[in-house]
């Protein structure tokens, strides 16, 4: 379970960086939910520099949403 959690904590940032428009839309939908595990995955991925490079403004907005 630990390895899966670590993988999810970084893999989404790679996918979003490859397809920023679709990826950030997906992250925004997840950020609207209240599942603590999903929010953890989002927070971990939003720490990655590749997301800020893909879209700095949307990355900052999502960070504010998920804390």
Question: H-type helices in 19-55, by residue range?
Answer: 20-31, 36-46, 49-54
| 7-29 confidence digits (pLDDT tens) | 999 999 999 999 999 999 999 99
Number of CB atoms found within 10 A of residue 58's CB: 20
Under 8 Å between Cβ of 62 and 27: yes
Residue range of the domain that includes 22:
2-66
Tally the residues of the chain. 67
Structure tokens at 28: 């925004």
Residue 2 has what pLDDT? 87
- Terminal CA-CA length for the chain: 24
Confidence check: pLDDT of 65 > 90: yes
* pTM, 2 dp: 0.89
Total count of domains within the chain: 1
- 42-61: average pLDDT: 96
Residue 62 has what pLDDT? 96
């Amino acid at each position: 379970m630990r390895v899966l959690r670590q993988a999810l904590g970084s893999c989404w940032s790679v996918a979003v960086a490859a397809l920023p428009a679709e990826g950030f839309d997906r992250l925004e939908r997840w950020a609207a939910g209240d599942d603590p595990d999903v929010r953890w995955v989002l927070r971990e991925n939003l720490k990655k520099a590749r997301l800020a490079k893909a879209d700095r403004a949307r990355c900052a907005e999502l960070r504010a949403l998920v804390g």
